[in-house]
Homo-oligomer: A and B are copies of this chain.
Amino acid sequence: MDKIKLSDKFKMFDDHWSPRIVGELNGQYIKLAKFKGKMVWHSHDNEDEFFQVIKGNIVIHLRDRSINLSEGECFIVPKGVEHLPEAAEEAEVMMFEPKHTAHTGTKESELTVAVDKQAWI
């Protein structure tokens, strides 16, 4: 039951597309990740996913449009909606999602980090 200082947490890791868990509430995890480059197209059958840009800029591509997000902007990807996160430069992102949410949803890729391999920091 300590406070979570986001800037300190982001200093604790450098790799991209590898979420760290910083909090848990009501069956959901709060995760932090650094984005750079392109993720992979994927969707989550039963989980909505919240993204908040803490630093930098990202794009969440959907099949019919792309959402540009800057610091202080958020977006919820509803369950079942295919999405591809991208960041031209490194960006810091906070996510909320159910604890069991698979990293790349129904799509396995070389970027996939299994939920039980996503470390608490």
Contact = CB atoms under 8 A, between A and B. Distances in A.
Interface of A: 1, 3-7, 22-26, 28, 30, 47-50, 54, 67-69, 72-76, 78, 81, 96-98
Q: How many copies of this chain does one complex carry?
A: 2
Closest 8 CB pairs of A and B: A25-B48, A4-B74, A6-B72, A3-B75, A5-B73, A26-B48, A25-B76, A23-B76
Contact of A72 (B23, B28, B54): B54
A3 B50 contact: no
A interface secondary structure, majority = strand
Question: Considering residues A48, A73, A76, which has the most beta carbons from chain B within 10 angstroms of its beta carbon?
Answer: A76
A4 B96 contact: no
